[in-house]
């Protein structure tokens, strides 16, 4: 399918969709480093710029619109503000794209917090906006570990199908591929050690790209980013922010001696080992923490291809 990608970042979701056989016809992000990363690994065809300044008539048509619209705008205060301030609500641009392009499907990923903001009123508003735009919508709370990602990462995925396509063509969430429950008769969750044991220590790494670690000190104080990592379990969630000084907290390595390198964080997010990130250390960590795991993007991409094959 032809994909219009909004808030594309480094392209975790897009790479997965492309790996499945789909084509990205338009992509955009405001972050210079993320756009450079996207250009050197996925496609030159990504527009650098603020979505609020883009002329939607210049965007080609597509079968599916995808995007992890940033969630910072979703405070209750923002929902109630004046029309002027609504420009800050980036999901409105996602909605605008649906209305302008009428794609058959959409995929929107977000943090789980979106379910509870304002006691669920924000979610209700989003769902009614999507429905009014002419789409059936499913809201799926998922754990990426259930899809072969070596990481506990809970996210919300909205899937939309244009109403006129009928119920037999609905885009569905992929079936789980892994489980921690033996009753499911699926392979077990992949542990962080299984995912990372092929990497040497950064000091002996030779020329492995981005195999550099944050020097932010390790201290085990029992809060996010500061807990020992169990080698036998999936990694804790790879973060995009959080050291209190504008930096990103990289997860502690299970060896207890240092934090994960950019390369290792990317591997936990299922980026291939030859995918090279542009920018300074913090920017690389942020691009990775923001991404949809590539392996999950691939499974979503497979669902799109299955729909095409049924036609």
Ligand X SMILES: C[S@@+](CC[C@H](N)C(=O)[O-])C[C@H]1O[C@@H](n2cnc3c(N)ncnc32)[C@H](O)[C@@H]1O
Residues annotated as catalytic (active site), given as ranges:
71
Q: Is 190 near ligand X (CB under 6 A)?
A: no
Residues of span 87-146 touching ligand X by CB under 6 A: 90
Question: What token pair was written down for 11?
Answer: 């392209």
* HSE-CB of 63 using CA atoms within 13 angstroms: 13
**Exactly one of 2, 19, 30, 96 binds ligand X (CB under 6 A); which one?**
30
Comparing CB distances to ligand X, the nearer of 22 and 28 is 28
Residue 292 binds to ligand X (criterion: CB under 6 A): yes
Tokens representing 98 are 């649906």
Residue of the chain from 11, 103, 234, 252 that contacts ligand X (CB under 6 A): 11
Nearer to ligand X, 70 or 202 (CB): 70
CA-to-CA distance for 24 and 139, rounded, in angstroms?
Answer: 24
CB of 35 to ligand X, least distance (A): 9
Q: Which is nearer to ligand X, 67 or 252 (CB)?
A: 67
- Least gap, CB of 27 to ligand X (angstroms): 10
d(CA 297, CA 247): 26
How far is Cα 265 from Cα 89, in angstroms, rounded to an integer? 29
Least distance (Å) from ligand X to the CB of residue 168? 29
C-alpha 183 chain-centroid distance: 29
259, 219 Cβ separation under 8 angstroms: no
Q: Please give the full DSSP string across 145-198, using - where no structure is assigned.
A: GGGT-SB--EEEEEEEEEGGG-GGG---PPPP---S-GGG-SPPPPPHHHHHTT
Using CB under 6 A as the binding rule, whether residue 4 contacts ligand X is answered as no
**Backbone angles phi and psi of 219, in degrees to 5:** -150, 125
Pick from 192, 291, 300, 307: which binds ligand X (CB under 6 A)? 291
Q: Which is nearer to ligand X, 23 or 201 (CB)?
A: 23
Nearer to ligand X by Cβ, of 13 and 233: the residue is: 13
Q: Kindly state whether residue 29 participates in binding ligand X, applying the rule CB under 6 A.
A: yes
Q: Please list the helix, strand and coil fractions of the chain in percent, rounded to the nearest 5, in that order.
A: 40, 15, 45
Q: Does 34 bind ligand X (CB under 6 A)?
A: yes
Query: In this chain, which stretch among 50-58, 117-125, 139-147, 186-194 interacts with ligand X, using CB under 6 A?
Result: 50-58
Residue 41 engages ligand X in binding (rule: CB under 6 A): no
Tell me if 68 contacts ligand X by CB under 6 A: yes
The bridge status of strand 135-143 relative to strand 154-162 is: antiparallel
* Choices 113-121, 132-140, 250-258, 290-298; region in contact with ligand X by CB under 6 A: 290-298
Angle at 113 between CA 19 and CA 37, to 5 degrees: 35
Residue whose entry in the numeric block shows the structure tokens 């299984």: 194
Closest contact distance (angstroms) between CB of 64 and ligand X is 14
| From 1, 3, 12, 108, residue interacting with ligand X (rule: CB under 6 A) | 12
Q: Which residues bind ligand X (CB under 6 A)?
A: 7-13, 28-31, 34, 50-52, 68, 70, 90, 290-292
């Amino acid at each position: 399918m032809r994909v219009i990608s909004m808030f594309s970042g480094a392209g975790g979701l897009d790479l997965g969709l492309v790996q499945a056989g789909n084509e990205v016809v338009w992509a955009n992000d405001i972050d210079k480093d993320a756009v450079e990363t996207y250009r050197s690994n996925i496609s030159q065809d990504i527009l650098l710029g603020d979505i609020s300044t883009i002329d939607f008539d210049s965007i080609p048509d597509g079968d599916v619109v995808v995007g992890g619209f940033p969630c910072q705008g979703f405070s209750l205060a923002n929902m109630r503000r004046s029309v002027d301030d609504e420009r800050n609500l980036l999901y409105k641009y996602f909605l605008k794209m649906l209305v302008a392009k009428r794609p058959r499907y959409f995929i929107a990923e977000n943090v789980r917090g979106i379910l509870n903001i304002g006691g669920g009123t924000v979610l209700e508003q989003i769902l009614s906006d999507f429905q009014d735009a002419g789409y059936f919508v499913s809201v799926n709370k998922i754990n990426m570990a259930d899809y072969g990602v070596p990481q506990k990462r809970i996210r919300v995925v909205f899937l939309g199908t244009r109403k006129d396509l009928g119920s037999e063509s609905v885009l569905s969430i992929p079936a789980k591929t892994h489980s921690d429950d033996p009753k499911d008769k699926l392979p077990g969750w992949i542990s962080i050690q299984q995912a990372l044991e092929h990497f040497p220590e950064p000091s002996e790494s030779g020329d492995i790209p981005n195999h550099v670690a944050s020097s932010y000190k390790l201290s085990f104080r029992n809060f996010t980013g500061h807990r020992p990592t169990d080698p036998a379990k999936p990694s804790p969630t790879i973060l995009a922010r959080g050291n209190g000084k504008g930096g990103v907290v990289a997860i502690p390595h299970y060896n207890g001696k240092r934090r994960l390198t950019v390369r290792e964080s990317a591997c936990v997010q299922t980026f291939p080992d030859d995918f090279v990130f542009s920018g300074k250390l913090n920017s690389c960590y942020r691009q990775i923490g923001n991404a949809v795991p590539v392996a999950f993007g691939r499974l979503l991409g497979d669902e799109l291809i299955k729909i095409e094959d049924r036609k």
